[in-house]
């Protein structure tokens, strides 16, 4: 079943990123595989007015999708939504026994806060505290 899902949802390793700004140029982004016997976990979150969302994707070192999830963290700020997406993936990785993760997200502030390089506010602190506890139980990770 997992292989069928991975095949169905497998994204190309290279894709174009577009910006709505007409003056901007297209730029290519390449997904880089994690080290062998490691998984790569990409997360993102968004919040605008009443529309919030978060998404995760976990792939093995061959690029096969192990897990993908999209959720709606209701009544959250964008920072909370990104933090929740980070937490969802860590919870899922734990539930299926993944112990080595390369974690990637587009939020520098979340990376700094979860790494302890920046203070987190009361709204996101409980989310990041849970994320740190899950990360501490991994055998190895990079973020």
Q: What are the DSSP calls for 124-141, one per residue?
A: THHHHHHHHHHHHTSSEE
Give me the percent of the chain exceeding a pLDDT of 90.
Answer: 18
Residue 82 is classified by DSSP as H
Least confident of 14-23, 64-73, 125-134: 14-23
pTM exceeding the 0.85 threshold for the entire prediction: no
CB 67 within 8 A of CB 26: no
Domain assignments of the chain as residue spans, ordered by start: 2-12+30-142
132, pLDDT greater than 80: yes
CB 102 within 8 A of CB 39: yes
2-12+30-142: which CATH topology?
Nucleotidyltransferase; domain 5 (3.30.420)
User: From the DSSP assignment, how many helices (H) and strands (E) are in the chain?
Assistant: 4, 7
Assign 59 a pLDDT band (cuts: 50, 70, 90). very high
């Amino acid at each position: 079943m997992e292989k069928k899902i991975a095949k169905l949802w497998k994204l190309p390793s290279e894709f174009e990123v577009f910006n709505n700004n007409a003056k901007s140029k297209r730029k290519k982004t390449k997904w880089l595989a994690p080290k062998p016997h490691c998984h790569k976990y990409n997360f993102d979150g968004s919040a605008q007015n009443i529309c919030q969302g978060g998404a995760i994707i976990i792939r093995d070192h061959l690029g096969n999708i192990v897990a993908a999830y999209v959720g709606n963290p209701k009544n959250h700020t964008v920072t909370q939504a990104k933090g929740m997406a980070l937490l969802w993936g860590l919870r899922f990785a734990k539930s299926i026994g993944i112990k080595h993760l390369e974690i990637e997200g587009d939020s520098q502030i979340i990376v700094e806060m979860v790494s302890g390089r920046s203070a987190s506010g009361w709204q996101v602190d409980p989310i990041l505290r849970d994320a740190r506890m899950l990360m501490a139980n991994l055998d190895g990770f990079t973020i």
